[in-house]
Structure formats: structure tokens, C-alpha cells
């Protein structure tokens, strides 16, 4: 016997593909496209009562941004782990507090004096949280910024530095990982530690290839640096076997084991691993770039926290500065790509700019003032990081929709809206809802950690009515795809919805 949910699925799919088929009767389309709110509510109940999630919990709010009317609510005031939907809070607060044109700034100082072409003293890199020093904004050239710095030094007439290359990361605290992050995340790129100085997303790129002569696996790293130690445990397998490469870094070290199998005829395989002490890593790589550009370094690349003496910026000369792309572009990386490090950097930068020091506590304190303006009581939620990677983060679906509604009316709506993945087009929604009426009509942030799948953002109905929605499920033990199917079904229904 066909159940009610199956019928809804069939008719929503039929409506979604009407533009590709002329054989569906018009009265059938109209019957299931036009609904009263009561009918829509009943359809949502059928969808969210899916027996696959009988031991889980759904939190849902769907609200019209034109009338303020709730099309549907379910557990709207209960606390849920939001996963990466927390990035909506971080990015919205960042825009409001810092502005869409805000740029992260890195200052390069000379601690000493120039004698001819020799800098008698140290070069000091003062970081203030810029996450973008990588290839992400420079056509894949991760060393572009460092090469530009080397050229700037050469333009100053400097071809030798007698002192050290010092990385000053004291604008942020030394707590790289978020509270409530799983300990076994530490090697993974999505759990890269935050730092006032970042380079290459605080990761190292690892490439595994098969030597054409020896047929043995070889491992190379990018950037080419001795900062990490690579242990190659990869084995070659026949061409009809499976390639599966992984890597982990020993806790508290930069010893990385690369393991798994690679087919004898396989193309290169790439993976990413975090580094321990991002500041030291950045200075080591920068020193290598300086040397390759012909600048002699007599000293060492060091983290300022390893120094026994303090430095006084009042006695230094500012040589030049490095500005990041504007925040409106940074938050596209945060939301479209769901990049955790960028979100953590933004949260701590909010703390730095408002309280004078970059840590989670200062960032959240500043954000809470914004949330109050949104009509959200900060005491009824729990935020411990910027990315949502923590299982200690707790928000309600209604709070998310309140934020979305506030941003819809904000002067920062356009950059906020533009940062969200577009269904069937790009970001983490690029491969969902393709070739349906929901494609391009849903702009929403995805979220995933074990047992959590979330989707919150904006939809435009068949009448082009703007909708804010939040759909979160916690504590499920079925395949994630089933949770995505439920969310996608709701998005399809919204994209086709027309009021009677």
C-alpha cells in the first residue's frame, strides 16, 4: 500500500520537473502546487514523521519574510547541536561588528637598522588573524604572499638579515582547538588550529604518486619544507584494486604517517594534514622563500613565545603591511565552503577588535550584543566556537530563523546572502537539488557532524515569496543521505509552494 509520504514525494517530483515534460496534466500540477497553510503544515508533519527518524529529533521553523507568518514549526524552541549552521551566527555577527569591507591586516616590522643592504636585527611578522595567506585567493599559488613580501624587502634594498624571522601571534590566545572538539579530529584539515598567524589553512598538502620505474608509492609535500617528517606506509596494489589514502599526525608533533593503498596505474592522490604550531610553520616556510629569492638569513624562524626577551613595537620601523581580501569575500569561504578555520579566525578577530585580545570568550561576548538586537536571548543558547565543530554548541531553530529574518532586513543582507551555498549550483549544496525547481531558489548553509545534519537559509516559493527556514536533525543513526533527502524534499515543496 502506498503511504501518504510516498504520494507527496511523487507529486513534488512531478511538479519539480514540469518544465522538462509536457505530459503532466495541468490540473494535477495546480492541485499539488497550491496549498493553504493548514495543508502545507499537514504535509510537513507527514515528511518529518518518517519512521527512519523515530529515535531522532527534528527541529524546524519555516517563516514567511513577507508576512511574518509561520508556515511550519516543530520543536522550534528546543536546543539542537547546529554543526556548521553555527557559521551563520559567526558570519552575520562579523559583518555587523566589523563591516563587509573589513580587512585582516598583517604588519611586517624591522627590529633593528639597515646598514647598506644588511638588516642588522630581526624581521618581525605581527599577525592579526588573517586566514587568507594561502593559494585560495591567489590562483592556487600558496607562496604568492610570501614571494611578494620578499620582493618588498628587496625593494627596500635588503639582501641579508642578521637576526631572526619572528612570528608574533600574541594577538590571539594559544588555544588552537575549540572546546568540545573530538580529540581524534586533530590531524584533519577541518580541525586546523586557529592562530593569529596562519599559512595555507594551517595545513600541509600531501601528494601520493606511483613511481613509473619502481612502481613504488612516493609521498611529497607542498610547500616543500622540512618542518614535517613524513613516514610513508603506503602500498601499491593491482590496477583493479581500490585506492584509499589517509594520513595522521602524532599528537603534539609534526610527524605524519601516510598510509593506505594506491593502484599501480592510479593518478596522484592528494590529502591534507594539520600542522603543530602554525606560527612556527609559517615562519619556516617564509624563511625558505626568502632564501630562494636570494635574501640571506643568518638567524632562525621562531615563534615569539619561544623568545626569552620581549619586543617593543614603539622602537621598530613598519616596513609594509599585508591586507586580506574584504570580509564579504572571506565569509564566502566560511559559508559556501564551510571552512572551519576561517570561522574560528573571524570569531577571535571579533574579540580582538572589540576587546583588544582574540579569544573565543571575547568574540562570543561581542557577538551576544548583536544577538540581543536580533531578539535572541544569548542566555538561552550556548556558543563555544565559531565553526560549529563542537558538540557543546546549542541553538534553537527559532533563533536561527530570527537571525535570518534580521539579516534579511539588514544593510549587510546582500553580502550575507551571497555567501550562502546555492542549491544545485555551488558550495556545499552544489550537488543537491540539481535540475529541479529548487535549483537556484534555495540559499542555505549546510551542517554536519556525527549524528547531526542541518540546513538553514532562504527559499523563494512558486509565488517568489521569500522564506526563512531552519531544518535540523539530531541523534539519528541512519545514513546521512536519508536526512538530506528529508531536507531536500522540504526545499522542493517550498520552491513549488503557492498560496491558494
CATH number, domain containing residue 70: 3.40.710.10
Integer angstrom CA distances of residue 115 from 120, 125, 166, 318, 444: 7, 21, 20, 17, 57
The residue range of the domain holding 393 is 4-100+328-499
Residues 243 and 292 in one domain: yes
CA nearest neighbour of 275 among 159, 404, 188, 183: 188
How much is the pLDDT for 308?
85
pLDDT tens profile 80-139: 999 999 999 999 999 999 999 999 999 999 999 999 999 999 999 999 999 999 999 999
**Whole-structure pTM value:** 0.93
How much is the pLDDT for 310?
87
CA dihedral 246, 251, 257, 258 (to 10 degrees): 20
Residues 214 and 285 in one domain: yes
* Residue 462 DSSP class: T
Angstrom distance (rounded) from CA 43 to CA 60? 13
How much is the pLDDT for 27?
43
Angstrom distance (rounded) from CA 249 to CA 264? 26
Q: What is the mean pLDDT of residues 402-425?
A: 98
pLDDT for residue 286 is more than 80 = yes
How much is the pLDDT for 19?
36
Judge contact between 275 and 203, C-beta under 8 A.
Answer: yes
How much is the pLDDT for 134?
98
CATH number, domain containing residue 143: 3.50.80.20
Residues 81 and 183 in one domain: no
pLDDT tens profile 144-174: 999 999 999 999 999 999 999 999 999 999 9
Angstrom distance (rounded) from CA 486 to CA 157? 63
Peptide bond into 377 cis (omega under 30): no
Q: What are phi and psi of 319, to 5 degrees?
A: -85, -50
Q: What is the mean pLDDT of residues 28-36?
A: 59
Q: Give percent helix, percent strand, percent coil of the chain, each to the nearest 5.
A: 35, 25, 40
Angstrom distance (rounded) from CA 149 to CA 133? 12
User: What is the DSSP pairing of strand 118-126 with strand 165-168?
Assistant: parallel
Angstrom distance (rounded) from CA 65 to CA 84? 23
Q: What is the mean pLDDT of residues 292-320?
A: 95
How much is the pLDDT for 309?
85
CA atoms within 13 A on the CB side of 306: 12
Residues 150 and 226 in one domain: yes
| Strand residue runs (E) in 275-349 | 296-297, 301-303, 317-323
φ/ψ region of 424 (left if φ > 0, alpha if ψ in -120 to 50, else beta) reads left
3-state secondary structure of 449: strand
How much is the pLDDT for 16?
46
Q: How confident is the model at residue 30 (pLDDT cuts 50, 70, 90)?
A: very low
Angstrom distance (rounded) from CA 344 to CA 181? 13
Q: How confident is the model at residue 266 (pLDDT cuts 50, 70, 90)?
A: confident
Residues 89 and 185 in one domain: no
Q: Please tell me which residue, 17 or 233, carries the higher pLDDT value.
A: 233
Residues 218 and 291 in one domain: yes
pLDDT tens profile 190-204: 999 999 999 999 999
Q: How many Cβ atoms from other residues are within 10 Å of residue 184's Cβ?
A: 10
Provide, rounded to the nearest whole percent, the portion of the chain with pLDDT above 70: 93
Q: What are phi and psi of 207, to 5 degrees?
A: -120, 130
Domain endpoint, select from 325, 342, 360:
325
pLDDT for residue 5 is more than 70 = no
pLDDT for residue 339 is more than 60 = yes
Q: What is the mean pLDDT of residues 344-367?
A: 98
How much is the pLDDT for 342?
98
3-state secondary structure of 357: coil
How much is the pLDDT for 35?
82
Name the H helices within 243-339. Answer: 278-292, 327-336
* Residue 53 DSSP class: G
pLDDT for residue 249 is more than 60 = yes
Residues 153 and 165 in one domain: yes
Residues 83 and 109 in one domain: no
Judge contact between 404 and 471, C-beta under 8 A.
Answer: no
Residues 67 and 165 in one domain: no
Total number of domains constituting the chain: 2
Amino acid at each position: 500500500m502506498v503511504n501518504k509520504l510516498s504520494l507527496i514525494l511523487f507529486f513534488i517530483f512531478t511538479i519539480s520537473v514540469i518544465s522538462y515534460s509536457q505530459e503532466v496534466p495541468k490540473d494535477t500540477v495546480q492541485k499539488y502546487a497550491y496549498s493553504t497553510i493548514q495543508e502545507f503544515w499537514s504535509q510537513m508533519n507527514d515528511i518529518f514523521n518518517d519512521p527512519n527518524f523515530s529515535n531522532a529529533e527534528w527541529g524546524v521553523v519555516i517563516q514567511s519574510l513577507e508576512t511574518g507568518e509561520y508556515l511550519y514549526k516543530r520543536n522550534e524552541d528546543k536546543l539542537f547541536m547546529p554543526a556548521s549552521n553555527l557559521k551563520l551566527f559567526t558570519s552575520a555577527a562579523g559583518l555587523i561588528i566589523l563591516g563587509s569591507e573589513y580587512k585582516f591586516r598583517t604588519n611586517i616590522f624591522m627590529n633593528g637598522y639597515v646598514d647598506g643592504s644588511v638588516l642588522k636585527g630581526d624581521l618581525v611578522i605581527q599577525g592579526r588573524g588573517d586566514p587568507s595567506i594561502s593559494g585560495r585567493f591567489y590562483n592556487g599559488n600558496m607562496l604568492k604572499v610570501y614571494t611578494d613580501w620578499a620582493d618588498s624587502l628587496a625593494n627596500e634594498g635588503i639582501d641579508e638579515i642578521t637576526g631572526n624571522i619572528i612570528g608574533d601571534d600574541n594577538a590571539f590566545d594559544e588555544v588552537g582547538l575549540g572546546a568540545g572538539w573530538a580529540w581524534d579530529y586533530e590531524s584533519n584539515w577541518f580541525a586546523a588550529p586557529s592562530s593569529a598567524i596562519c599559512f595555507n589553512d594551517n595545513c600541509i598538502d600531501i601528494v601520493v604518486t606511483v613511481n613509473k620505474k619502481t612502481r613504488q608509492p612516493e609521498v611529497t609535500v607542498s610547500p616543500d619544507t622540512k618542518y614535517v617528517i613524513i613516514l610513508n606506509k603506503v602500498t601499491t596494489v593491482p590496477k583493479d584494486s581500490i585506492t584509499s589514502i589517509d594520513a595522521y599526525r602524532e599528537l603534539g608533533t609534526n610527524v605524519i604517517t601516510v598510509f593506505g593503498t594506491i593502484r599501480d596505474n592510479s593518478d596522484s592522490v592528494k590529502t591534507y594534514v594539520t600542522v603543530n604550531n602554525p606560527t612556527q610553520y609559517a615562519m619556516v616556510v617564509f624563511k625558505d622563500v626568502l632564501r630562494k629569492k636570494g635574501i640571506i638569513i643568518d638567524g632562525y624562524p621562531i615563534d615569539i613565545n619561544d623568545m626569552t626577551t620581549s619586543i617593543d613595537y614603539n622602537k621598530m620601523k613598519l616596513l609594509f603591511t599585508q591586507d586580506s581580501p574584504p570580509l564579504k569575500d572571506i565569509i564566502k569561504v566560511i559559508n559556501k565552503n564551510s571552512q572551519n578555520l576561517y570561522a574560528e579566525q573571524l570569531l577571535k578577530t571579533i574579540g580582538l577588535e572589540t576587546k583588544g585580545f582574540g579569544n573565543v570568550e571575547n568574540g562570543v561576548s561581542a557577538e551576544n550584543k548583536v544577538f540581543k538586537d536580533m531578539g535572541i536571548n544569548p542566555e538561552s543558547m550556548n556558543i563555544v566556537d565559531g565553526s560549529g565543530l563542537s558538540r557543546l554548541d546549542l541553538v534553537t531553530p527559532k533563533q536561527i530563523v530570527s537571525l535570518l529574518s534580521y539579516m534579511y532586513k539588514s544593510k549587510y543582507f546582500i553580502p550575507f546572502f551571497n555567501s550562502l551555498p546555492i542549491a544545485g549550483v555551488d558550495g556545499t549544496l552544489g550537488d543537491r537539488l540539481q535540475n529541479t525547481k529548487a535549483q537556484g531558489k534555495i540559499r542555505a548553509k549546510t551542517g554536519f557532524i556525527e549524528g547531526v545534519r542541518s540546513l538553514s537559509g532562504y527559499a523563494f516559493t512558486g509565488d517568489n515569496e521569500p522564506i526563512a527556514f531552519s531544518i535540523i536533525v539530531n541523534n539519528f543513526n541512519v545514513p546521512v543521505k536519508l536526512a538530506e533527502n528529508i531536507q531536500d524534499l522540504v526545499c522542493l515543496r517550498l520552491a513549488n509552494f503557492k498560496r491558494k
